[in-house]
Each structure stands twice: as structure tokens, then as C-alpha cells.
Amino acid sequence: MEITEKLRAMRLMAVNVRIETIRQMMIIGFGHIGGSMSIADVVGVLYGGAMNLDPHNPTWEDRDKLVCSKGHAGPAIYAALALRGFFPKDWLDTLNQPGTNLPSHCDRTKTPGIDLTTGSLGQGLSGAVGLALATRADGKPAYTYCIVGDGECQEGQIWEAAMVAAQYKLDHLICFIDFNDKQIDGTLEQVNDITNFAERFTAFRWNVYAVDGHDAAAILEAIEKAKTNPGKPSVIVLRTIKGKGCDFVEKMGYNHHILMPRAECEAEIARLQQEAAKIEKE
Ligand SMILES: Cc1ncc(C[n+]2csc(CCOP(=O)(O)OP(=O)(O)O)c2C)c(N)n1
């Protein structure tokens, strides 16, 4: 596939992820919208073509894996999985409702395509390290991806996992930091300033890339560079905006977990549908 065509598919996936994420939360009336919107572009790149997957065989042993360590952003992953055909799209109408296969946080026992149960922040990178070690031990060339929140990096376990990944030279592990500079209680600088991610991961012996987290081309380029840099795990620090692409959410100060009024959501969905139509015509 030509690069422009590949990127178009990724950008389209990101817009559709935003639409379906807003719709899921509109139906139940609330949700973790801010941190789901901020990862929509990296999710678009991964599920729009960067990951080697088979929607008809979610546990295919040669697949690339994704751990969404910030498990509260599960709805963005569910949107991508549904759009790729891992499960029927109408499951998205059941987010977080009794008996659903799509709980508010990622659960690998319930949702086809979810590789690790997450939600207790700080644990996902350790799980991703385990998956990357196991994949290598099985002689598979697959990649393990992990999405970690910036506030989540205040958990000590992230840095334990980072040490182990470097020690075992896990060059098929690629971690994204969603650097939206907001957590529940304010900005990272206000709570616990660990915003020098690049310096920190460099000190932990990782390859480090820093890109605009809403630029699909830059994200894809960083992934491709990471794959050509052997002997070390890679981290891609994504500079993002919490709520990006859902205008009324983006403008809010606190937008971590909020009510999602139908009228506002419908207006956002209509606007994003126009954006998708534009990308389709490019
Ligand atoms: C161990 C643990 N402590 C607290 C929480 C509650 N919690 C859920 S999301 C969140 C904020 C996370 O901030 P960040 O990682 O920056 O995520 P984002 O802003 O991107 O949503 C917190 C404290 C949790 N899920 N797990």
C-alpha cells in the first residue's frame, strides 16, 4: 500500500474511533472521554494498519499485541476493534451496562481483541514486558505495544517495568506515553512533575522519540524508526490534548470523567462525520 493511502486509512480510523467513542458514552450518558480522545490518533495508526492482526482470530498467536495500560480509555480501543470487525458494532451500544462485553475498563476475558485486563494504573507496562518476553521466547517476530498515561507514570511499577525491559533488550516492545498533561487532580506539574519523559526513559536505557500525538504521519514514522533500532525497547512520547477532537470536551478544564449530553454529542458526531467524508474523498 502506498504511504499516502496507508496514512489516509489511519486518519480515517482515528476520526471513526472518535465518533464511536463519543457515541458509546452518549448512550450511557457519561464516561472517560478526555483520555479516550487523546489517544484516538495513535489508536488510528495502530488499528488502521500498523498492527498485524486478524479480526477473525483475535488470539492468533502471531499477532501484534496492545496493552492499553490506561484501561479507562477502553472505549477508544473498543471503537477500533468494532470498526475492524473483531465483534459486532452494536456491542458498542452496551458500554458499561449490566451484562456487557465492553466494561468501562479493558477486560481480556470479556472483549475479543483485548490482550490484557487493565484499569489499575501502573500495571500495564509490566504486563506488556511479559508479553514481549513470551513472544520472543516463542520465536515470534511480533511487536507488543503499550499505551501508558502520563499521570500513570507516577506509579513506581512503570519504572520497574522500564528497567526490566531494558535489561532484557526488548526491542519488540514499543510504549506510547499519552502526554496530555492532565490527570484527575490537575496538571502533572501541579501534582508530581515527571514531564521530562525523554530524559527519564533515556536514563532507563530506552530509545526515545517525541512527536505530536495527533499527527498520524509522525506517529507512524516514529514506530518505523523504533523498529529499526535494535537492542533496546522504544518509547514514543505523544504530545496530546486531553479531549482532542470533541470540541466541547476539549474546552473544559476538568474533562477526565464527565456527563455526555446527547445534544452536544450529536453535534460533535455530525461534525466528525463531515471530517470523515472529507478524508474519504482525498
Ligand atoms: C492504581 C490506580 N490509582 C488510581 C486510579 C484512579 N484513576 C483513574 S484514571 C486516573 C488519572 C490518570 O491520569 P493519566 O494517566 O494522566 O490518564 P489520562 O489523563 O490520560 O486519562 C486515576 C487517578 C486507578 N485507576 N488506578
Report how far residue 177's alpha carbon sits from residue 219's, in angstroms, rounded to the nearest whole number: 12
- Crossing angle (nearest 10°) for helices 216-227 and 3-28: 120
What number of other Cβ atoms are within 10 A of residue 164's Cβ?
Answer: 16
pLDDT digits (tens, 9 = 90+) for 12-64: 999 999 999 999 999 999 999 999 999 999 999 999 999 999 999 999 999 99
Q: Which residues line ligand 1 (CB under 6 A)?
A: 34-35, 38, 70, 72, 119-122, 149-152, 178, 180, 182-184, 242, 256
> Which residue from 73, 71, 53 is spatially nearest to 63, judged by alpha carbons?
53
Q: Please give the CATH number for the structural domain made up of 3-281.
A: 3.40.50.970
- Domain positions in the chain: 3-281
Angle (CA) 95-80-61 rounded to 5° is 105
Q: How far is the CA of 184 from the centre of ligand 1 (A)?
A: 7
Mean pLDDT confidence for 260-275: 98
pLDDT at 3 over 90: no
Mean pLDDT confidence for 233-243: 98
Q: How far is the CA of 256 from the centre of ligand 1 (A)?
A: 9
pLDDT at 235 over 80: yes
With beta carbons less than 8 A apart as the criterion, state whether 95 and 82 touch. no
Using CA atoms of 113, 117, 121, 125 in order, give the dihedral in degrees to the nearest 10: -70
pLDDT for 81 equals 99
Q: How far is the CA of 169 from the centre of ligand 1 (A)?
A: 28
pLDDT at 77 over 90: yes
pLDDT-derived band at 2, boundaries 50, 70, 90: confident
pLDDT digits (tens, 9 = 90+) for 130-178: 999 999 999 999 999 999 999 999 999 999 999 999 999 999 999 999 9
With beta carbons less than 8 A apart as the criterion, state whether 262 and 204 touch. no
Q: How far is the CA of 151 from the centre of ligand 1 (A)?
A: 7
Report how far residue 197's alpha carbon sits from residue 200's, in angstroms, rounded to the nearest whole number: 5
With beta carbons less than 8 A apart as the criterion, state whether 188 and 217 touch. no
pLDDT at 1 over 90: no
Residues belonging to the chain: 282
pLDDT for 97 equals 98
For the chain, give the mean pLDDT.
97
Q: Whose CA is nearest to atom 23 of ligand 1?
A: 184
